[in-house]
Amino acid sequence: MAATAASLRVVPPPRLEHYVMTEKLGQGTYATVYKAFKKGDTRDVVAIKCIQKSSLSKTATENLLTEIELLKTLDHEHIVKLKDFEWDDQYIFLIMEYCSGGDLSRFIHSRRVLPEDITRRFLRQLALALHFLHANNIAHMDLKPQNLLLSARQNPVLKLADFGFAQYLHSEEETQTIRGSPLYMAPEMICSMKYDARVDLWSVGVILYEALFGMAPFASGSFAELERKIRSSDQIALPVGSKVSPDCQDLLLALLQRDPLARISFEEFFAHPFLDLEHVPSPLCLEKAIKLVTDAIKMDDASELKEAAQLYCEAMAFFYQPLSVNEKDPEMKARLRERVNQYMNRAEELKQCFKTRSHSSPDELLARYSKDHPELKEALHLASIAEIRDEHGAYDSALSQYQVALEALLPILSGTPRGPYKDAVNLEVNKYMRRAEEIKLYLKLSKEKMKVVPEAVDEDQSRCVIQ
């Protein structure tokens, strides 16, 4: 009984001058993390990672030194900040930014699965952190939900943490040391092959899968079972009945490619439409919006109506970002919102100027080729239905029908050798594609008109949009 009682005894946290350590936030092989308050009037809240020197192997010591070196230089809104580090005879203390929202793993499990829009918001923030690391030739090597911390319980901001396995590694520079957590390790790492920084992209895919479906794609009861699943040639499939957008599915499957050469590249990842990093809220959003509006006004004055409408719509995408927290002047906010609504209304007026109102005439194409190509007749019939809906202003329905028609026409185009027939089909395909894109733009404008939340701006910068 005495031994049992001793083993259950709560071990008090280490002591560190200037800080009062309170609750334990987490514990790993070499370190324990505590919430702490800084002594004094401010009582700043921090997280202190306490590493016992006697527990460190040579490799662990090297990893810790690399972590400290990296964190001292990394300054990014989506990376947990190292405020300071200290040491005594027994411990090394990393004094970190405190994130009161816990980690992404707990956030997912508390909700079982995350809606796609929330998943996308967190993935964008992780992508911004990785973009910063990639630009500095740093690979994290241990991406998992437990290492993605949330700044708060309400409106959390994701922050990448735990750089214990990170290292300077170029995209194509290879190594062979196994590091990270098996469930999130890339196949090339688990199979003890040479690997490079692309292992981080596989881990992102596993995190995305887990957020959307509540479990990792290769959840296993043992490492042997995990390795067997990883080595399998079976194609990775989404759970039965799952519903995700085409862009989301495309990115997920591109990340979860067992062959690193077939996996999406960092450049392709950062440019992927599901992330749409260009429109992530940032202090530059208003600056971009103002430039686009200025160009739109010039096009409008020059009667270049289609180009003006396009620019107005692009500007709206930047105006709509949730940046109002930085604007403290209610009058400025109201004036800017009013002006943005005027631009939006003007864009809608311009869209009316170039909507398609008449049918195209594929009769010549049909007369020349339909006898030998009956599939073309059916595809053009589908397109004619889209044009009728377009003409009557049923744009949602018309867009869907254009997409159906294009799904029928594109295989015809790709399977046709060069020649007059292919050229004629190509003209029809391009025409329907252009019209589908115009309708998409118009529908986007209509659906986003309720979300104007501009960021604070200084008086000089905002003059062109609010006066």
pLDDT higher than 50, residue 90: yes
Residue 291, annotated as binding a ligand: no
pLDDT digits (tens, 9 = 90+) for 262-281: 999 999 999 999 998 877 76
User: Tokens in use for 427?
Assistant: 């003209």
Q: What is the pLDDT of residue 360?
A: 47
Residue 103 pLDDT grade (very low, low, confident, very high; cuts 50, 70, 90): very high
Hunting for tokens 């591109």 — which residue is that?
Answer: 254
Higher pLDDT, 358 or 199: 199
pLDDT digits (tens, 9 = 90+) for 370-388: 566 778 888 888 888 888 8
What DSSP string runs through 293-346?
HHHHHHHHHTT-HHHHHHHHHHHHHHHTSS-GGG---HHHHHHHHHHHHHHHHH
**Alpha carbons 129 and 124: distance in angstroms, whole number:** 9
- The per-residue pLDDT for range 310-331, each reduced to its tens digit, is 888 777 767 655 334 445 567 7
pLDDT at 200: 95
Residue 282 or residue 234, greater confidence: 234
Instruction: Express each pLDDT in 105-164 by its tens digit.
Output: 999 999 999 999 999 999 999 999 999 999 989 999 999 999 999 999 888 999 999 888
Task: Compute the mean pLDDT over every residue in the chain, rounded to the nearest whole number.
Answer: 81
3-state secondary structure of 289: helix
pTM: predicted TM-score of the whole model, two decimal places: 0.64
Burial class (CB in 10 A: 0-12, 13-18, 19+), 291: middle
What pLDDT score does 108 carry? Answer: 96
pLDDT tens-digit series, residues 413-438 = 887 788 777 888 888 888 888 888 88
Active site residues: 142
In this prediction, residue 209 carries a pLDDT of 96
Report percent pLDDT > 70 for the chain: 81
Terminal Cα distance for the chain, rounded: 79
The per-residue pLDDT for 192 is 73
Backbone angles phi, psi at 179, to 5 degrees: -150, 150
